[in-house]
Amino acid sequence: MNSLCQIKKANALLSISILFSLTACGELPGFNVDAKTDDFVQEPVRNDKIDILFVIDNSGSMADEQAILAQSFEEFIKKFTDKKLDFQVGVISTDHVSDASWWSTSNPRYADFANAGPGSLLGYQTNERILRADSENIVAKFVQNSTLGIIGSGAEAGVKAATTALSTTMLGAGGWNEGFVRDEAMLAVVFVSDEDEGVLTGSTAAQKRYYIRGNATAAASRREAFVSRLGELKSDVSLLSINAVVAPTQAECPSVWVNDDSLLSTGDFYMDIANEYGGKIIPICRDFSGPIIELGADLVKLLSRFKLKQKPDGQIRVYVNGTVVERDEVNGWAYISETNEVEFRGDAIPASDALIEVVYVPGEPLG
């Protein structure tokens, strides 16, 4: 007699149960099933952790853009708090020229940000440098932490700054950014700059600004350093999300200008890296609050994928806390055949403490 075998895991916060339709307890094609049981249980641990690094341009033209980012944060982070996800948020500057003493003395506003030099996570006055799910007044603190002012170096170097921020020295024991990157968490980086990655040449105060894409050797070296460090931190690229809020093209952002090296200020270097990791490109030249909030939703969705241990053969049924969830590309679940995952979407994304069951007849075992 065909029947669905029910699995009860009362003490588990999260489990994925695979139920077979069997004629009798015994063998399935490709499987050896114990004669005393007619169910197969897998209990993966859901990854509900994410570390989000905002790399913010603090040069002279960024006041409005910093304000838009700050104003967007409440709805951005609500995507994570609503689902009870375990997040950390940090802010660094694109300024990789000025040392710690300059940050402390050159401007009254900057004196409010303690730091250990370029790549430092920044907290305004007594604010935490790493904002977490249990941080009090997290929105107000992010607004203060991310409003960096506009007297940073005009040679924006967000990728270089991020590489430094994520270095062993900064993240290791006793490092300024210790505790920010967790082994099991997804790492998301969001570059926010109205100019491309820059380099400095010369040795005087009259140094000209150059975009790094005009220097192939320097560009290759800086890109390799960043990508290599990401690989050291996350061997699984599915745990990486690299995104850029920049000027994509002159057509989309007519206000872009030409620098001293006759190159447009479009964020080519940032976009190349973001595209390599399948990240989002968000135009900075208009109100980008909506796309930033959507980015938050996309990151939550990436934390709502559940890998199945076997390939399904036929219909899949999905339950959250005992209630059926419909298959729906917008507000339900979808099956990703390439990765053999069930992905929740929209309103159907479950909280991190939900009990999830996936019911199906298995096909061929995975290698």
- Pull the structure tokens for residue 82: 């609503």
- Pull the structure tokens for residue 69: 């980012």
The helix or strand, by DSSP H or E, that contains position 87, with its residue range, turns out to be: strand 86-93
How far apart (Å, rounded) are the C-alpha atoms in residues 1 and 302? 39
pLDDT band at 27 (very low <50, low <70, confident <90, very high): very low
How far apart (Å, rounded) are the C-alpha atoms in residues 231 and 166? 11
pLDDT tens by residue, 243-252:
999 999 999 9
Residue 124 vs residue 7, higher pLDDT: 124
Q: To the nearest whole number, what is the mean pLDDT of the chain? A: 83
Average pLDDT score over residue span 342-348: 91
pLDDT of residue 254 exceeding 50: yes
Compute the half-sphere exposure of residue 74: CA atoms within 13 Å on the CB side of its CA: 6
pLDDT of residue 26 exceeding 60: no
pLDDT band at 33 (very low <50, low <70, confident <90, very high): very low
How far apart (Å, rounded) are the C-alpha atoms in residues 23 and 77? 49
How far apart (Å, rounded) are the C-alpha atoms in residues 157 and 96? 6
Residue 111 vs residue 127, higher pLDDT: 127
So what's the pLDDT on residue 16? 37
pLDDT of residue 342 exceeding 70: yes
What percent of the chain is modeled with pLDDT above 70? 83
So what's the pLDDT on residue 143? 97
The highest-confidence range among 106-115, 226-235, 349-358, by mean pLDDT, is 226-235
* Antiparallel, parallel or unpaired: β 49-56 and 39-42: unpaired
pLDDT of residue 116 exceeding 50: yes
So what's the pLDDT on residue 297? 93
pLDDT tens by residue, 304-339:
888 887 888 778 888 888 899 999 999 999 999 888
pLDDT tens by residue, 261-280:
788 999 999 999 999 999 99
Residue 302 vs residue 6, higher pLDDT: 302
pLDDT of residue 40 exceeding 50: no
So what's the pLDDT on residue 1? 43
The separation between CA 55 and the C-alpha centre of its own chain, rounded to angstroms, equals: 12
Domain boundaries, the chain: 49-301
Q: CA geometry: angle at 315 spanning 312 and 316, to 5°?
A: 70
So what's the pLDDT on residue 106? 65
How far apart (Å, rounded) are the C-alpha atoms in residues 271 and 200? 21
Q: Does domain 49-301 have CATH number 3.40.50.410?
A: yes
pLDDT of residue 353 exceeding 70: yes
Strand partners, 90: 53
Average pLDDT score over residue span 59-69: 94
pLDDT of residue 25 exceeding 90: no
pLDDT tens by residue, 73-93:
999 999 999 999 999 999 999
How far apart (Å, rounded) are the C-alpha atoms in residues 51 and 186? 6
Residue 90 vs residue 341, higher pLDDT: 90
pLDDT of residue 220 exceeding 60: yes
